[in-house]
Structure 1
Amino acid sequence: MSTKARIKTFFGPTRQYAVAGASNNPSKFGFKVLLWYVSHGLSSIPINPREKEILGQPVVGSVRLVLNAVNEHQDVESYKLSKVDGVSISFLTPPNITVATLKEIATVSGYKDIVKGLWLQPGSYDEAVLDLVDQIGLEGVVIHQDECILVRGEEGMYSANL
């Protein structure tokens, strides 16, 4: 699948978005990417084990909690995860944290059906990350190669009719 097609399938009308590495620091991309989702009216969950709230939104401590809730059709915090068709995740974490998060994802029952997209922002991946994406079978939904949602996200939204 081409990068353009992967960007299109990253988005969906009943999709939940998660921002791994969300930050309260306006100078960090973890803040800027979450703000992008919020400003485009997309339901996005900030993921950060040390924060309680970012941009007025409750923070969830791990991606695994989000995926488990979707799998079990349960809501978390104020997020209506029982009604989504899957989760697309933007990574703004250092590669070693991205690897740890991908390993967590692979422990969730049915993760290949739940995870609809992985957007590896520049700086969040290296060869170890890409190898692990292949090993856990998510290579068909990954966006990387220095693609940034701040640059290409609107194109994906429009191609998905959002």
Structure 2
Amino acid sequence: MSMRAKIKAFFGPARQYVVAGASNNPSKFGFKILSWYINHDLSVIPVNPKENTILDQPVVSKIEDIISAMKFKQDLKGYSTSKVDGVSISFLTQPRITVRTLQEIATVEGFKDVVKGLWFQPGSYDEEVIKQAEKIGLYDRVIYEDECILVRGEEGLYSANL
């Protein structure tokens, strides 16, 4: 699948978006990308184990809690995760944390039915991250190669008719 097709598939009208590595620091991309989702009126959950709220959004500490809630059609922390068709995750974590997060995602039964897209922002991945995505069977849903949602996100929204 081409990168363009993967970017289109990342977006959907009933999708839940997640920012792994969301930040309260306006100079960090975890803040800028969370802002991008909010500014486009997309349902987005910030993930950060050290924060309670970011940009007035309730924070979830672990992605696997989100995937599990979606799998069992439950809402989580005020988010309507029971009504979505899947999750697309933007990663802004260091590569070693991205690898660990992918390993944790793979522990949730049925995760492949829930995870629709993985966008590895520049700096969040290395060869080990890509190998881990392949190992858990999600490589066909990975966007990387220095693609940034702040640059290509508009195109993805447009191509998905959002």
2:45 maps to amino acid: I
Counterparts of 2:62 and 2:156, CA distance in 1? 25
How far off is 1:7 after superposition?
A: 0.1
Counterparts of 2:4 and 2:113, CA distance in 1? 21
How far off is 1:113 after superposition?
A: 1.0
1:14 maps to amino acid: A
How far off is 1:29 after superposition?
A: 0.2
Match of 1:150 in 2: 150
Which sections of structure 1, spanning at least 5 residues, go unmatched? none
How far off is 1:71 after superposition?
A: 0.3
Counterparts of 1:68 and 1:113, CA distance in 2? 11
Match of 1:28 in 2: 28
1:112 maps to amino acid: K
Counterparts of 2:40 and 2:145, CA distance in 1? 24
Q: Provide the identity percentage.
A: 66
Counterparts of 1:37 and 1:108, CA distance in 2? 25
1:40 maps to amino acid: H
Q: Deviations over 1:35-72 (max 9, x none)?
A: 00000000000000000000000000010000000001
Q: Deviations over 1:58-113 (max 9, x none)?
A: 00001000000000100001100000000000000000000010000000111111
1:75 maps to amino acid: D
For 2:132, what is the secondary structure of its paired residue? helix
For 1:67, what is the secondary structure of its paired residue? helix
Match of 2:5 in 1: 5
Match of 1:112 in 2: 112
TM-score by length of 2: 0.99
Moved over 6 A (4+): none
Which sections of structure 2, spanning at least 5 residues, go unmatched? none
Counterparts of 2:105 and 2:58, CA distance in 1? 21
Match of 1:91 in 2: 91
Counterparts of 1:6 and 1:82, CA distance in 2? 24
TM-score by length of 1: 0.99
1:84 maps to amino acid: V
